[in-house]
Structures are given as C-alpha cells and as structure tokens.
Structure 1
Amino acid sequence: MSSKIDITKPKTVKLFDLNDYEKLINGIKVAACMITESHQIVDEQSVLKRLNALTINGASDGNCCSCCGVGPFETRAQQTSHYKHHWHTHNLKRKLFGKSPLSLGQFSNRQDDNSSVSGSDSETEGPNSLPTDLFAAATRHCKAFFTNSSGQVFCIYRCILHHKKEELSTDGEGYAWVERCQHLTIPGYLRWAVLMVSGGHFAGAIFSGAIPVVHKTHHSYVTRRGQGQAQANRDQHGHMPRSAGASLRRYNQEQFLKHVQDIISGWATDLNGCSLVLYRAVGALNQGALFGKNSPLNRDDLRVRVLPFPTRKPTYKEVKRVHETVASIEVYENLELFQKALIAASAKPTTKTGSDINAERSKKTQKSPGKPIDRAKSRERTPRELPMQMISSEDEGPCYIDSETPVDWIKVLSEQKSKGIVLNSRKDLLNDNSASGNTSCSEQDNVIDKKTKKKKKKKAEEIKPLKHPISKIPTNVKRMWMAISGNELSSLETILESWEGDIEVACNTQDPVDGNTALHKAAIAAKPDMVLEILSAGGDPCIRNRHLQTPYASTPHHDTRIAFRMFQAQFPEKYNYNKSQIPGPLTPELLEQEKEKKAAQKRAKRQRGKEKQMEKNKTNEFLLLPDAEKVKADQPRCFLCGTFLPKKPFEYESFKFCTIKCLQNHRSLRPLHKSATWSVYA
C-alpha cells in the first residue's frame, strides 16, 4: 500500500483582480510538464549518414543485423521474424536519434512495455528528461500550468486560453501559451458570456469583469418527474404516449426552444462584443436551443467553447458560480506541492484485494433498497387471521382470544357448551387462575401495575405546581416594602440613611409571594423618586419576578419609565442594561425634544381636524344648492356626494359625478329635484 500524499490547499487569485494577476504573471514561463520535445531540425547529409549506418553488413552476406548486432541467421524466416520484432524496430528508432542500441535482455527488462514502440528512452537516460506520469497528467488536464519568477506554479483553465481545435503545446518553448496569458490583461478581454441549457431550464448571463451586465433565466415543464429525460427524447424510444401531460410537455418543448432562441437573438450585439462564449448544452435538443435558426452563435467560432467541468441545474446562481470558477487561478508556492497535487488528482485507484471486494459486496447487499414500487398496480396485502369469536356469558357478550386468555378457558367452555350450559365467564377464569397460583400471569400483571403506577406518579408530579421555598424576610425589609407600597412617604431618604446592614442585599430581596423586589414595588406604585433612590442604593433592574417581568416592564406609568432611562443616562456602566428591557438612555435635552415633537404632532392633528371640518361644511353647502347652481360652482364637485371630481369624471348632459354609482343614483332621483327646482323658480 502506498502512503497517502499530504496535499495543502492552494490559494486562489481571480482574473478580475488585475493587480494580483499582473504580479502573478511577472516572469511567466510554461511549466516543464507542459512542454513537449521540440522537433529536431536535421540536415540531409546527417540523415544519409544514419541511413548508411543502418544498412546490412556486406561482409556477412546479409545474414547479420548491423543495427542490433545479431547474426548470422540460419534461415530466411528467422531473419524476417527478427526484422518484424519490436526489439529491432526500437533499436532502429534509437539509432535514428543517435542513441546506442539495446540488447534483448535490456529491452525485455524495461519497466514500460509500451515504450518499445515509441523510440524515446527519456525515462531511463538523462537527468533532464521529463517524468512520464507527470507529463501525461498535465497534457490530459483541463488546466494549463505556468511558473513565474518567484517560483510559484499556477493553473489556468485551457478553455480561457484556446479552443480545443487549437494546439499550443508543440512549439517547444511554449511562447504561444505565454502570449495567451498576457492577452487576458487587455481591456475588454474579460467580457464573457455563460449560457446553460438542460431539462427545460435556461440560464445565461454576460459578464464584464466580475459584474453581470445582462442575465436571463427561463423554465418550462418538459420533463416528467421520475422519467429522467425530456418528452421529445422519450418519444424517440418507441411509441409516443398520448396522455394530456405528454402533449403538454411536447408543446412546452417547442415553446421553450423558441423562447431561448428569441433571448439569444436579442443578445446578438452583446454576444458579438464578447471575447469568450462558454456554454453547457448536452444533447441535440439543448444545443438546438443555442445554435438553432437565426442564432448569432456558431459552433465553428473559436470564441464558443464548452465548459470543462460538470455543472448543476441551470440557474442564475449557478451561472455566477461557473463564471467565478472559470476565472479562478490556483497558485502553488513551489513545484513540489504542485507535483503532489497533480499526481494525486490523476492517480488511478489502487487494486483491491479479495477481502475488500467481499466487504463491499456485503455492504451493497445490506444497503441495497428493495424493488421500486409500481404505484399504478394494486399492492398485495398480507393475509391476517381474525380473532376467534366465542360466547362466554349473556352479560358479557362476545369475547375474543388474546394473550391474556387462559389456556384452559377454551377447554372449559367447550365442555360446558356440550352440556348446553355456560356457567364460567372469561373474567371468572382469570380470577380463578390468579388465585390458584398461576405465577406467570400474576407476575406479568404485577409488572404492568407497577409501570402504570409509576406513570401516574410522574404525571401527578408534573401537574403539581412547584413550590418555591419560603425564606424568612427581615423585619426592616418588610418595613421598607410597606413604606414603598403606602401613600404616606414619597421618598426613602430617611430609611436608607439609618439602615443597618447590607442595603444592596435588602434592595434585591424578592418577595416570596410574587417575586417582586423593592425596585419592582416602587415601579408598580408609580414613585419615580423612590426608583432613583433604590437604583442608587444598589437595586438591580435586571431581576425578574414570578411573571418574568423586570422592574421597567412591570410599571405602566410614563414618568416612572422616564426615571429609569434618566438613571441609565447618568450611570451607563453601573448595571447590565441589556437584560433590564430599558429601551435606552434619556437626557433632559432629548426629553425636551420629545415633548416638543409630541406637541407639534398634536398641533398638526388639531389643524387637520379643523381643515376636515371646513371641508365638510363646504361639501354640505354645495349639496344644498340646486343642480342649476352646482353647474356654475367654482370648484368641480360630484353632484351627488360633493367630493372633488377625478380628471375624467362620469357625466350625462351637464351633470358630473365621481363614480358611476353616483351617476345612476342621481338619475333615479333627478325627477324629484327637477320638479322641486321648477316650483321654486316658478
């Protein structure tokens, strides 16, 4: 078993933070694991020399191999089989590159069997050769790896740097990679579009840096729950369902495609200005929504690239997460940490032993769920036996056999029934068995009785109210309480000056009846002067009584509450006022401002009342006028209710109204008004 590799999490740099990114690419180079061997430029003369060296030795009449040093061959078939062997092919390639041939033993003992065909032996020769596993992991990875002048290694997604049809890793030195990384700092290059379509969900956005400029989401019901695919895909695998739900999903699929295509065509100008268009659309239906008719996007466009990692359901939140993930750069502090992380991420799982496989199988058998229930079919109910019904006696009626029924009861009943007379009931037999020493039944009954008694005791204890222990109250404390509750004294100055003992303990002593302290009693009695004296003497405003009320909450009087707030303003650190429910400190200046504010509110209320009364009088005067004078009135009002008319009143002839109801009522009452006005003018 190989030991686990300790991997530290790399730090992350965003492409949008241009200052950090420019510092990161200072002295940028392509990592060694990304560079392939450059194509060797060989002149014609060197090639001819190597080919002449590979010819068969003429001294041996063509029976020896000058490349591998084998021969002479006894037969033509033996010589042909040698030339077809991988060993000979491998040595030919080695000699083309100016390397010495390998013997058959060296070729057989090679660790990498596949390298017999490849011609490069970079694993075994030369300290500057690249590690094969690291190179393979880097070339298959969805990110490109770079180093900077400070020795850091950082990773950038390939989909940002190049299209999958472009090949940048065969230039030998990686100048094309470096150039693409430097392009990311160009203004306007970070204008990207992210589009996602899946299962009737569409989500897309266009980002300028880290800011979403345009975004849109759309959803249609095209997939039946539990079916796992869209209705259009389901129709391609056999007969088409004719249910109402299937028809609805087909119609929604067509409308969904049209709606998404309209959205993308409306974004045509914005998409043309994007340097990258990243999308996720799996399947012909989803891709048809993005690259369908009249779409400004083309799959052959090098700006249009597929997201290189799996995504969740298309939502606006997921689009923002994908955009942030693509723009994230992982930075490793040194090359060792990077190599450990890369090899660990691309490492294949270790081979499992037979015991591990058996353990996994046993776990699967234990955790494997049962067969899925088909809701459309009726379930088979397990048959259950009904209890036997027997007649015990006339007063008891039918009885049923259960666990408490004595064994001999059925036998006794059958004997009595055969004689035609049933004398003993089930209750009598139970009593007889308990008296005759049936220990098993009696023990069970005793256990059940004990359990029921314990439950009853617990319930009774829960129902009973908790009694608070009554402690003796000193007489001087009782006198102070009487002085606070009485109407004779309005100040405790004389009592507190002549007090003997700890005055703070006396002020915080709770009454055993209701739990009120001296501060509670002074607050309830509406004596603000006593409240201030008790607070100064050490009365805690955070103590609660039996009703869970603090002294401030127990008083309904306005002046008393102001006294609490004034004391808090004077002594802000004496008590923990957060638990006392006092809303906040109050100074005399703030108190005056509150009084002025309330007086202004009262004046404004009185003024509004006067204006309402004046308006009511004007309305009544208007309503008393005949219709002929209402038409000549200065202010346009409703002819029936007298309210001001809207911009477009309801009218007939020369009469105007605020609502259609007033118009109808006026029409029904108009003959009376008309006759009355005519009689007056006549």
Structure 2
Amino acid sequence: GEPIVHKTFHSYTVRAKQGFAQSSRTVTNHAKSAGASLRRYNEVSLLQHVQDILESWSFHINNSSLILYRAVGPYNRTVLFGGKNPPLDKNDLRLRPLPFPTRRATFSEVKRVYDVLSSMEIYGSASDFTDSFPISPRQPLRKKVSKTDGSGEILVENVEYDATNSTCNLQDSEKNKVSVQPSPERQHKNSRSHIDRAKPRKSPCRPLPDIVARLAQSSSESELDSQISTPNIPIVSLIEQELEIEFNENLLAFQDTVPRYMKNKKIRRQRKKAKKDECVLNETLTNAKVKLWSACKLGDDELLSSVINDLLIEIKKSVELENKLENKEDVTVSCNSVINKDDMTKLVNDPNEDGNTMLHVAALGGHLKLVWQLMEVGSDPCNKNKKLQTPYAAANDKETRNMFRRFMGANPDKFNYSKSQIPGPLTDEIEQEELEKKKQQKKIKREKDKVKKKEFELKKREEDAKQRYLNLSDREKRALAAEQRILKQGCIMISRCFQCGVDMAGQVPFEYNSNRFCSMPCLKEHRLRNKVVI
C-alpha cells in the first residue's frame, strides 16, 4: 500500500530519564521551574495539534475499513479518546490496538509496522499451504509444486532404500532424478528454508566418498586372500554363555599405588583436626557461651562481668600450664582444660541464626555497659548481620552510638574501625565542643526569634494604626492632619476630655457628636445630662 497522508512531529513533554508526563507530576509537586512550565505548555499544544490533524483527516478515517493505533498509558489514550469532542470513538468496531511493541514514532516505523501487519509468514512448504485452499472456478487449475532437494534437482520419485543390506540403490535413484536448473529465487528460498531442529529427522542415505569406498574394498579383498592362502587355520566361531560371578570371591581390590608415608601424613592431619575440634568444644566454653548470650539479652551487667572474669582466670591457668610444659615439668594436661585468648575472642564473635553477635544484641537492647565490656574482651564492631548492619548501625538510640564513639576515642588501635560505620571518635573535649556549639546555635536561634517577634509587633501596630486611620471620617482626618502640622511647627497640642477636661495625650479618645471623651463613663454622663426629647 501507498501512504495517502502522514505527519510526524515531536514535542518536549517528558523530563529526561523520568518517564512521567509533567501534568501527572504537577498535581502533587506544583513545580514552577522553567522546564516544568515549558513541558506543561508543550503538552497542551501537542494535544491540540494531534486533535487538529485527526480532524483534518476525518474524511480518510471515516472511509477506512480498519483503524490501527498505539497509545501506551492513560495520558496518551486521553489524546485520542478524551475531551468533549474526542477525535476517535472508543466504541468504534474498526479500532484495533497494535499487537506488538513499536520503536520511536517516525514515518519509517509506520511503514515497517504496515509491512509486518500486511505480510504473512508460512511455516512449511508453499504447496501444502496452497493445496489447503479450495480451487476457485474463475482461476485456472494450479499445478502441484514438486519438492526440491538441496542440490537444486527436483525429485519425481522416492529413492529406494534396502534395509537388509543397509545400502542405497544409487543407480535407480540417479535415473529417477531429473536434473532441472532451478531459478535464482527458488535457490534463495531453499537456502533460507526454516528447519525445526527439535523434531527428529530420518538419516539421509548418502554414498561413501571414493577414498573410503576404495579402502573398504581393498581391506575386504585382503581378508579373503589371507583366508584362501592359509587353509590350515581353523575358523573359530563365537559362543555366547551366561555366567554368575560372586563379588566376594572373584572381585579383587584395585591396586593401591599411594605410598605408605602419604597415607600416614593424611591420617595425622585428620587426627589433629579432630583434636582441635574437641578442644574448641569444651565444657567451660559452652557454659560460658550460654551465660553470655543470656546476659546480653537480659542486660545483666553482673552476670557478664562474672563470666568474663571466670574466662580470664581460666586463660591465666592455661598460660601457666603451657609455661610448665615448656620447662619440661611432669604435668598432665587434658585438651578440654586449655583455653586461649583466641578461643574467648571467637566465642564472643560467634553469630546466631540471624547473624547477630553478642555486641549486636547488646546494642539493640541499649545496654551501654555491656557494649563497652564486650568490646574490651574482643567483640569486633565491624561484624555484620544478615541485614548487613554493624552493631553501631543496629543501635536504636543516640547514647548507645555515642558509647561506640567513646570506645573508639579511648582505644583507637584496638580494631580496624574503617568498616564499622562509626563516624569518628568521641572524647570529653569533642563532646564539650559539640555542647558549646549547640548552645551557641540555640542562643542565635533565640535572638532571631526575638527579632522576628519585635518585627511582628511593629508590623501589627502599623496595621492597627492604618486600620484606625481608615475608619476615621473625613473631618477627623483633616483635624488629625492639622494637629500634625501644629506639632511640626513646634507648638504643643493638648487634647482634653469634653466632660472632665483631663489631658488625653497618648490615648485613643471616644467621639460622640463631634466631641471627644477620655472614657466611656464621661461619654455616658454627657449623654445623661443632654437628653434629647423627641
């Protein structure tokens, strides 16, 4: 098909790498940037432009038998079907959405989509496809398309295959083949034919190469000659017989080529490993482990300190025993009684099923003394649990975090704090500086609040004075202006109460019948004296 009308244009309506229309963002954010304003304007102009184009193409749209469109998302669908006078009707039976994704909206992409929709792919041979349709009486009879093989020759009859001898009658097949020079189009189709490699295919019967055929013929001839030249050699026939063999009696062990000293070395290593495991799992450490975990969960400082002290005493005893052994004294030492400092460090750093160590549990509970004692013993603050949290990051309150910082300040070389997520050490001087800094910040904030309060009061007074002046009559405004002129000339202006004669300087007077009074009682007394009888 040839295009009748087409139009392609692009507008800047979406921010780069965001993927949302600007109108959907401004509902909540109310962005006022230049880019947001430009995108909003472009959205409105794009909507108007598309609707104007579709209105101008209404003749072609009404005459078309099928309408294919692609509008992804609610905003794009409102361009086609939204508004008071939508360009397309939702309930139109001719509307069809494209059944596959498309690229950037260009004229070449539209032509590609049209080619995809207007073309049809046939899987298999074309003859099977054409034969499935009924023959129209108006069209001439179709000829059956004969199948072609890969060599470009049309096969009229099938090739004969002898299953008993496993050989092909090549001469018959060559006779049955009619050599026809295929057209270049057919050659191209055969080379690009679809092959379903998942389905099993019959193995083709191909002739052997000349060299292989000659070798096979020569070998068979030599065997026949040897049998004819040596007639005294008896021909041995093969006999099949089933026998039962017992493995216990007749099956011998495989020859062992590994030398003896290598086997002994391996056995010694295994024994050492077993001894090591036994030493690790001694009773003292297992009891201490249970007590330490319970102390960390409950926050019991006394229990934790007593268990640690017991372990330190055991470590001292084991060191003394080692010294005696070095001095070659006769001392009987059991493996379960020896405890090293490394064993204690490993015990403290062992995680539970969630990956939390004892230090994690103490930090989560906010037990400050336990945190300090565990780190003194050797609990590493760089260990992470299954959530990839260090004990510092797992702590819930600021005081616990400050305890980690204080320990870092007191023991800077005990651990490698680079992976512990602790921001830095906290000493008394740093803490004092931080407190002073906070005090200064609070002081500055108070001063700013005072200044703001004064400005607010002045503004309020100005507003009250302005409102009072606006509520005055024209005569009062002229009198006020006259008073201000007299005061500017250096004269003293005294305003007195009409009833009692008190000086009303700095007061707001009460006015009644063009007279001023200092208070409501004076005004009431004046009204009682000068009653008007109607």
The answer, yes or no, to whether TM exceeds 0.5 is no
What TM-score does the superposition give when structure 1 sets the normalisation length? 0.25
Task: Decide which structure has greater helix share.
Answer: 2
Higher strand share: 1
Larger Rg: 2
TM-score, normalisation: structure 2: 0.32
